[in-house]
Amino acid sequence: MQQVFKNMFESVKDGGKIAIQYCNQMYPFVSNAYKELNLEKAERIFQMYQLESRANIDQYCSSTGFEIVSSHEKPREQASVFENIESLLKYHWSTTHGVFDPSLVTGERLQRFLDQCSRGDGNPRLGYRYIFCQLIAVKQATQTKYDVLTLRFTS
């Protein structure tokens, strides 16, 4: 991860900013979907995630040379809610770049997952609230000092 920040630092011009939104944890709704609906692919999907704590991200950023302007965790005000099972499956398929395989979702697997999402009234809650982390940092302009350059031309 440190190399990612080094690459960003080298790529951003002096005075340029980076903005990062990241997750520091995988939420049970998401991890349960992978475990219950795509058990055969779950381990590979989990390996795709690079979850980092806010403290680690701040450290990577600062140690590379960025000055942190803002870094905070904020609960998402509105929950991510899926209209139906099809939209949930498409979401997992697209966010895992096709690794999540909707064809592996059997009726039995789907029912087990929906039972875990129950609101207590028999109706599943197809969504979740989460905390997202944001960081904004700037690459400070470097002050270059030039020595006096003396040129002598002779003929």
Is 12 a domain residue?
yes
Q: Higher-confidence residue: 77 or 51? A: 51
The alpha carbon of residue 74 and the mean position of all alpha carbons in its chain are separated, in whole angstroms, by: 14
Residue 151, pLDDT > 80, answer: no
* Rounded Cα gap, residues 37 and 33, in angstroms: 5
- Does 148 score more than 70 pLDDT? no
- Please, which residues bridge with residue 66 across strands? 139
Predicted local distance difference test score (pLDDT) of residue 136: 94
What's the CATH number where 80 sits?
A: 3.40.50.150
Alpha carbon distance 44, 48 (integer Å):
7
Residue 122 forms part of a structural domain:
yes
Average pLDDT over residues 137-151: 64
Q: Is the pTM of the predicted complex or chain greater than 0.75?
A: no
Residue 148 lies in a domain: no
Handedness of CA 22, 26, 32, 35 (dihedral sign): positive
The region, left, alpha or beta by phi > 0 then psi within -120 to 50, assigned to residue 123 is: beta
Q: Is residue 85 part of a domain?
A: yes
Locate 5 and state its tokens.
Answer: 């920040």
Residue 149, in any domain of the structure: no
For residue 144, tell me if it sits in a domain: no
User: How does pLDDT run across 54-97, given as a tens digit for each residue?
Assistant: 999 999 999 999 999 999 988 776 667 888 899 999 999 999 99
Residue 143: pLDDT band (50, 70, 90) is low
Cα–Cα dist 4/8, whole Å? 6
Q: Which domain holds residue 84?
A: 2-139
Confidence check: pLDDT of 123 > 80: no
User: Of 24-33, 39-48, 136-145, which range is least confident?
Assistant: 136-145
Average pLDDT for the chain: 86
Based on the structure, what is the number of domains in the chain? Answer: 1
